[in-house]
């Protein structure tokens, strides 16, 4: 455990050191290059804002109205027949849509069932093994101005489904139920 | 598609609130979440400025090219439309490595830069190219070696074995990534097939 913590605290400063030293050795005007890149960063964040805001408001309406809970209740029996444990259903449904909501659900499950319980382990695995598709789609395509997304959303959501199923199978096998 | 999802979320929410008596919550949520989005975007400025600045130095110093050389054989197959020497490949790989080590903060700016370069490769079209969709699939299934956030939560709730889930997470994430890449290919061939018809 301590090794992992050490690695994660050391890695970023070490990457920075490496980049700065390599830049200096290769005679790159480091500070000026950094500033130039930074300007791009500001622009990106600004152009990102409307995309993020629009999506987040929509998700917030869906969540606060209670529709998300209703949706989960509606889907629960379907997913249960597919072998998804009832307690994990909310997480499975929320994970691709909202990162903060998913983290809240995971925390709640860990608190409720204990981190070392089957549900706790399953929730942890599910949370760690996929990312929030809608957020990634919004941020990456929003920042560079892609309007026609093609199959991206379908591919992303199907990948989430595979991740959820994989988490359940792997956890059932490793931790037992 | 994204238009439909966007409207669906908001419209069902509002209609649901009519019958559920949660209109007040919806009202609050609209403006709170708008606030949150601004805060999030402002919060992103710091990471974006810092990492894109750093990456610019790395690019000029030739570090990104070195990184692409290392993983070229594998990623040439995953991204056949990106020339191996193009900066896009370097950014794709930096994004991938950052995700691998659970550095979400650093991964996002590199991912955006990768998208930007792929857009240039696609004649600056506003349509998502094949490589962009593949890149997205790779990111949503997020290959992670160390799920730092989850481990932190588990420790907070006195887990006896906070890292017990590292193994299962790696296996699950590998399966979902391979699955995502397969689905991505499938959709690609379907597009070609449709265009030919």
| pLDDT higher than threshold 70 for residue A3 | no
The answer to whether residue B136 sits within a structural domain is yes
Under DSSP, the state recorded for B102 is: T
Measuring CA to CA, which residue among B49, B39, B8, B111 is closest to residue A53? B39
Provide the number of structural domains found in chain A. Answer: 2
For residue B10, the chain A residues in CB contact (below 8 A) are 57-58, 61-62
* A155 vs A25: CA distance, rounded Å: 43
Which range of residues forms the domain containing residue A87?
Answer: 66-175
Å between A93 CA and nearest CA of chain B: 14
A92 lies in the same domain as A129: yes
Residue with tokens 């590292």: B166
Per-residue pLDDT tens for B159-171? 888 888 888 888 8
Structure token pair of residue B178? 């391979």
d(CA B176, CA A159): 6
The residues that bridge with B127 in the sheet, in sequence order, are A148
The verdict on residue B19 lying in a domain is no
Which pTM does this prediction carry? 0.81
Cα-trace Rg, chain A: 21
CA distances from A129 to A25, A55, B128 (A): 39, 23, 25
Task: With a cut of 60, say whether residue A4 has pLDDT above it.
Answer: no
**Helices A30-64 and B23-60, interaxial angle, to 10°?**
160
Range of the domain at B156: 42-196
Hey, is the C-beta of B131 within 8 angstroms of any chain A C-beta? no
What is the band of A2 on the pLDDT scale with cuts at 50, 70, 90?
A: low
Whether A116 and A70 share a structural domain: yes
Cα separation of B38 and B141, whole Å? Answer: 26
Give the pLDDT mean for B87-115: 83
| 8 Å CB contact of B187 and A151 | yes
A37:B56 CB<8 A: yes
Is residue A52, in this structure, part of any structural domain at all?
no
pLDDT of residue B98: 80
Residue B25, domain member (yes or no):
no
Q: Kindly state whether residue B174 falls inside one of the protein's structural domains.
A: yes
CA distance, residue B22 to nearest chain A CA (Å): 5
Percent residues over pLDDT 90 in chain A: 23
Do B54 and A116 lie within an 8 Å CB cutoff? Answer: no
For residue B8, what are its two tokens?
A: 């669906």
Does A111 sit within 8 Å of B58, measured CB to CB?
no
Co-location of A15 and A85 in the same domain: no
Q: Does A56 touch chain B (CB under 8 A)?
A: yes
Please tell me whether residues A14 and A78 are part of one structural domain: no
**CB-CB: which of A11, A44, A125 is closest to B172?**
A125
- Residues A154 and A81 placed together within one structural domain of the fold: yes
Look at residue B118 in the predicted model and tell me its pLDDT.
94
Is A75 an 8 Å CB contact of chain B? no
| Total count of residues recorded for chain B | 197
Residue B97 lies in a domain: yes
Quick one: pLDDT band at residue A43, thresholds 50, 70, 90? confident
* Least confident range of A130-134, B62-66, B154-158: B62-66
**pLDDT for res B104:** 67
Average pLDDT, chain B: 86
Predicted confidence (pLDDT) per residue in A48-104, tens digit: 788 888 888 988 898 899 988 888 888 888 877 877 788 888 888 888 888 777 888
ipTM of the complex model: 0.81
pLDDT tier for residue A5 given thresholds of 50, 70 and 90: low
B143 part of contact set with chain A, CB < 8 Å:
no
**C-beta neighbour count of A124 within 10 angstroms:** 30
Which chain A positions have a beta carbon within 8 Å of B65's beta carbon? none
User: Which DSSP letter does residue B24 get?
Assistant: H
Q: A17 and A85 share a domain?
A: no
Most A CBs within 10 Å, among B57, B101, B120, B123, to test the A interface: B57
Q: Is residue B103 part of a domain?
A: yes
Rounded to an integer, what distance in angstroms lies between the CA atom of residue B103 and that of residue A81? 37
Asked if the structure places residue A58 within a domain, the reply is no
The pLDDT value recorded for residue B97 is: 81
Count helices and strands (H / E) in chain B.
8, 0
Q: Is residue A13 part of a domain?
A: yes
Q: Both A89 and A19 in a single domain? A: no
Indicate the Cα dihedral angle A155, A158, A162, A165, nearest 10°.
Answer: 170
Is the residue at B13 inside a domain? Answer: no
CA distance to partner chain A, nearest, from residue B69 (Å): 17
Q: Does A41 lie in the same domain as A7?
A: yes
How many inter-chain contacts (A to B, CB under 8 Å) are there? 352
Q: A14 in a domain, yes or no?
A: yes
B196 pLDDT tier (thresholds 50, 70, 90) = confident
* Residue B130 CB partners (closer than 8 Å, separation 6+): B81, B188
Tens digit of pLDDT for each residue in B45-99?
A: 887 888 888 888 988 888 877 777 777 788 888 999 998 888 898 889 888 888 8
B152 located within any domain: yes
> Which chain B residue has its CA at the smallest distance from A143's CA?
B112
- The three state secondary structure string of B108-138 is HHHHHHHHHHHHHHCCCCCECCHHHHHHHHH
A59 inside domain: no
Domain count, chain B: 1
Residue of chain B nearest A37, judged by CA positions: B53
């Amino acid at each position: 455990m301590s090794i992992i913590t050490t690695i994660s605290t050391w890695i970023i400063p070490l990457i920075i050191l490496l980049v700065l030293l390599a830049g200096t050795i290769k005679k790159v005007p480091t500070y000026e290059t950094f500033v130039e890149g930074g300007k791009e960063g500001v622009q990106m964040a600004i152009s990102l804002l409307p995309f993020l805001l629009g999506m987040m408001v929509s998700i917030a309406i869906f969540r606060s109205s209670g529709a998300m809970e209703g949706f989960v209740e509606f889907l629960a029996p379907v997913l249960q027949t597919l072998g998804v444990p009832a307690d994990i259903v909310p997480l499975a449904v929320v994970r691709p849509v909202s990162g903060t909501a998913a983290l809240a659900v995971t925390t709640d499950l860990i608190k409720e069932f204990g981190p070392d319980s089957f549900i706790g382990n399953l929730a942890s695995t599910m949370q760690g093994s996929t990312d929030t598709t809608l957020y990634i789609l919004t941020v990456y395509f929003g920042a560079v101005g892609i309007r026609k997304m093609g199959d991206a959303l379908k591919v992303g959501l199907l990948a989430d489904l595979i991740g959820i199923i994989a988490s359940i199978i792997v956890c059932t096998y490793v931790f037992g139920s | 598609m994204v238009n439909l999802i966007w409207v669906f979320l908001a419209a069902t929410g509002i209609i649901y609130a009519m019958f559920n008596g949660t209109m007040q919550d919806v009202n609050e949520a609209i403006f709170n979440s708008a606030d949150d989005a601004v805060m999030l975007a402002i919060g992103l400025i710091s990471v974006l400025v810092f990492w894109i600045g750093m990456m610019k130095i790395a690019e000029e110093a030739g570090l990104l090219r070195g990184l692409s050389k290392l993983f070229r054989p594998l990623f040439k197959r995953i991204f056949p439309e990106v020339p191996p020497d193009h900066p896009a490949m370097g950014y794709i790989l930096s994004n991938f490595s950052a995700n691998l080590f659970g550095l979400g903060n650093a991964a996002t700016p590199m991912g955006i830069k990768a998208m930007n370069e792929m857009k240039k490769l696609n004649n600056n079209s506003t349509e998502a190219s094949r490589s962009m969709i593949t890149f997205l699939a790779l990111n949503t299934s997020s290959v992670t070696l160390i799920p730092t956030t989850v481990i932190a939560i588990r420790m907070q709730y006195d887990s006896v074995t906070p890292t017990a889930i590292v193994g299962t997470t790696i296996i699950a994430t590998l399966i979902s990534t391979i699955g995502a890449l397969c689905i991505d290919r499938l959709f690609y061939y379907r597009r070609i097939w449709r265009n030919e018809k």
